Structure 1
Amino acid sequence: MADEAVVTVRLVRSFEHRNFKPVVFRGVCLDQTVRDFMDHVLNEITSRPGLPPPFRKYPYDTMKIIHQAHGAKTNELVMSLEDDDKLILQIDQSLKASGVVNETEVAFFRSQDYGLYKANPSSAW
């Protein structure tokens, strides 16, 4: 189907420690709302094999486009801190209206963590 896509979701547990795990979702309907997709991802990761327990129960609440196929990638190791107004997905819009296309990679994180990291973007080792 033309409106189905492969979307990689980068589950971000910690920006400072660069602790994230990419999870691939196939057959994603781009006409669903961002909220529906978030709910699907949250339900899916609780039982997905190979995903460590800390990633399964984390309170993710925000998605942001990291990059799209054939586009430029950021130099940031977790995700770009730029263009939040364009790249953070609006919860009531469809994925398609939010700019998600086939082979898009999105970060899924807790907005409070992102705000703290953006105010002081340093890495801990």
Structure 2
Amino acid sequence: MNEGQISDVLTNLSIPKTAATLTLRIIKSFEYRTEKSLVLHNINLETTSVGQLKDIARQAVKTQPGWKPYRNAVLDIAIYPDTFKLYTQAHGSKTTNLIINLDHEDWILDDDSKILAELGFENETEVSFFSRALYDQFKSNPETRWES
């Protein structure tokens, strides 16, 4: 490709599955829409499991600057993030719910041993990381409080 030309290769296909960029939406509170995105670079989707991705995320929250308000969530068993759910993939549609998509229960990643590539992960996949107990509670009454 010459300088100044725009590639027609989609970004999710332009990067190999061995060096993908993922965005993890770490959700602290559904009611108050408290979430912060953690961008991870150079993730090998062909060898990284769901469980390993959870460990990477928790370690990043514990050690990286800017995550202090989220550290108690990683340590507190009541709000401990233990579940991933697909939010969107590159060039895909997004939900109208700003915190998490409440439909597509089949997008919840329950098996920690599954390899990300097997689950359809590509470069620029975005997933939510949250407490399943808090998610189930919010889903039964999906009202936000921050607007009140």
Normalised to the residue count of structure 1, the TM-score between the two structures is 0.93
Distance 2:88 2:101 in 1: 9
Between Structure 1 and Structure 2, the one with more strand by share is 1
Amino acid in structure 1 at the alignment position of 2:29: S
> Of 92, 105, 108, which aligns to 2:113?
92
1:19-56 per-position Cα deviation (integer Å, ceiling 9, x unaligned): 000110000111211001111111122111122x2312
Amino acid in structure 2 at the alignment position of 1:88: I
CA shift, 1:61, in A, is 0.3
> Of 63, 84, 91, which aligns to 1:63?
84
Q: Is residue 47 from structure 1 mapped to residue 67 from structure 2 by the alignment?
A: no
For structure 2, the 5+ residue unaligned runs are 1-14, 74-79
Distance 2:112 2:72 in 1: 20
Between Structure 1 and Structure 2, the one with more helix by share is 2
CA shift, 1:62, in A, is 0.3
What is aligned with 1:104? 125
- Kept in 2, the 8 Å contact 1:6–1:26? The answer is yes
Runs of 4+ more than 4 Å apart: none
Q: Is residue 10 from structure 1 mapped to residue 25 from structure 2 by the alignment?
A: yes
Distance 1:28 1:111 in 2: 24
Distance 1:99 1:17 in 2: 30
> Of 96, 99, 107, which aligns to 1:78?
99
For structure 1, the 5+ residue unaligned runs are none
Distance 1:124 1:11 in 2: 19
What is aligned with 1:37? 53
Normalised to the residue count of structure 2, the TM-score between the two structures is 0.79
Identity over aligned pairs, percent: 36
